Amino acid sequence: MNITLEQAEKAISAAKQKSTEIDTKMNIAVVDAGANLVAFGRMDGAWLGSLDISIKKAKTARFFDMNTGIIGELSQPGGSLYNIEHSNNGLITFPGGIPIKNASGDVIGAIGVSGSSVENDHTVAEAGATAI
């Protein structure tokens, strides 16, 4: 199963709303189950450098079906996934990427958010991921 464009746009809308609530400007990417970009939104004034990061966070979350922050914990020196960020043409291993699941619990895509602190990125991504 794949996320639909309508669902992806709903996730972006919810993420934008949360971003506005916490006074941040974000880049928000949603990928489908194959890690292909379905929808993207760059809020006015969001950092240009975070555009690519948001897409890579979404892809990373989908490639491994876990939050990117968890991958970050596992990829520290001595960790079981040390240096994994160098695979797959570059992964992002800090918070802001979250798998998106349907009502049955199947992963149908992922959202990636970048443009503020990693804590804010995660909060905004969570709002988008749970809006489906």
Lowest mean pLDDT among 12-16, 34-38, 42-46, 78-82: 78-82
The pLDDT of residue 73: 94
Handedness of CA 38, 44, 48, 50 (dihedral sign): negative
- Sequence length of the chain is 132
Has this prediction a pTM greater than 0.85?
yes
The conformation of residue 73, written as its DSSP 8-state character, comes to: H
Mean pLDDT along residues 100-117: 97
The token duo for 117 is 């602190």
24 pLDDT above the threshold of 90: yes
The pLDDT of residue 86: 92
The pLDDT of residue 1: 85
Radius of gyration of the chain, Cα coordinates, nearest whole angstrom: 13
Domain coverage including residue 27 = 5-129
The token duo for 27 is 């880049």
Question: Residues 26, 113: contact at Cβ < 8 Å?
Answer: yes
Question: Which CATH number does the domain housing residue 88 bear?
Answer: 3.30.450.150
Mean pLDDT along residues 69-88: 94
The token duo for 85 is 């960020």
Q: What does residue 27 show for φ and ψ, rounded to 5 degrees? A: -100, 130
Total number of domains constituting the chain: 1
